[in-house]
Amino acid sequence: MKSQESAYLELILTRLAKCREYRPKFGTGQAVTLADFQQMYGDDPFYNWFGLDNPALYAAHKAAGGLTSLYRQIGIGCEEVFRQMLQDQFRLTSEQVA
């Protein structure tokens, strides 16, 4: 039973590890680094005028999106654990569980 619990925990931890990779996209469709963000917002006269190229703003976006990512990954991980538990307890295939 302990090995099953470890496998279930690993499913959750694998999902949570994805949160470390989160980078905001700012509508670009791809991850934006702090340097990219500062150039993008610094080059825009309007955003620059408001000081929106500030690293603190990038950090806030990263934190907010990262938190959303965390909740999303917890949900996905729990679903994966539930499906795995169904497979283990009822000897079902992944297709049957889906």
How far lies 45's CA from each of 20, 32, 57, in Å?
32, 19, 16
Give yes or no for a contact between 48 and 41, defined as CB atoms under 8 angstroms apart: yes
Indicate the pTM of the whole model: 0.74
Tally the domains of the chain.
1
Q: Is residue 75 part of a domain?
A: yes
The per-residue pLDDT for range 1-59, each reduced to its tens digit, is 679 999 999 999 999 999 988 999 999 999 999 999 999 999 999 999 999 999 999 99
Q: Is residue 97 part of a domain?
A: no
Q: Is residue 52 part of a domain?
A: yes
